[in-house]
């Protein structure tokens, strides 16, 4: 029979490894896009599976280093999911994607999706914003631009920095990332 601590360690490792698992496909657009590229592997398997020790250590020293790292965001997203606040990192990432767009129609569509997914009081993943920020965004939805969520994005960034990040640094999932970076491979 397995002891409780061994089971807990195995569970933590499994949760950590799921950070790098490809999303479950239902045969939709993602699969078609990969096929068109002549590539059968999901994008998440295309990036490295080796965690750099220095990079993982930097996540514990700097929230900015964590959030700017693709692997760091994946680990942090998994942590936030366990804390039932994954919408914060998803909103942050969506806003960062919006800032990169140049086509007016793409900006309009992305802004509408962000509003529907994270800002609307009916949204399934509503982020915690005060009424001033929410009203500012609603007014700007008349003529969306790629900077319209900047204040809200800064608010959510600071919320994650002050609230979630200190808990992340002491979490089992971050310790698992540190352990994996010692051995070299996920």
List the CATH number of the domain containing 30.
1.10.167.10
Number of domains in the chain: 1
Residue 116 is encoded by which pair of tokens?
A: 């529907």
pLDDT single digits (tens) 123-176: 989 999 999 999 999 999 999 999 999 999 999 999 999 999 999 999 999 999
φ, ψ (nearest 5 deg) of residue 185: -130, 150
**C-alpha distance from residue 52 to each of 19, 30, 165 (Å):** 16, 28, 20
Q: For residue 62, give its domain range.
A: 4-183
How many alpha carbons lie under 13 Å from residue 152 in its C-beta half-sphere? 33
Predicted TM-score (pTM) of this structure: 0.74
Helix axes 70-82, 53-61, angle to 10 degrees: 50
Q: Tens digits of per-residue pLDDT, 100-113?
A: 999 999 999 999 99
């Amino acid at each position: 029979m397995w002891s409780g601590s061994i089971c807990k360690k195995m569970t933590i490792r499994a949760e950590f490894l799921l950070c790098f698992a490809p999303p479950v496909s239902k045969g939709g657009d993602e699969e078609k896009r990969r096929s068109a590229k002549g590539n059968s592997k999901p994008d998440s398997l295309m990036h490295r599976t080796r965690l750099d020790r220095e990079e993982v250590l930097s996540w514990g020293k700097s929230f900015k280093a964590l959030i700017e790292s693709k692997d760091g965001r994946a680990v942090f997203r998994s942590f936030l999911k366990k804390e039932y606040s994954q919408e914060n990192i998803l909103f942050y990432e969506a806003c960062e994607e919006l800032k990169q767009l140049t086509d007016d129609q793409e900006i309009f569509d992305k802004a509408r999706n962000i509003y529907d997914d994270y800002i609307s009081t009916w949204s399934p993943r509503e982020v915690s914003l005060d009424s001033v920020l929410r009203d500012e965004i609603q007014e700007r939805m008349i003529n969306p631009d790629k900077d319209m969520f900047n204040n809200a994005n800064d608010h959510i960034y600071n919320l994650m920095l002050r609230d979630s990040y200190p808990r992340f640094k002491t979490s089992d999932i971050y310790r698992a990332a540190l352990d994996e970076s010692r051995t070299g491979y996920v």
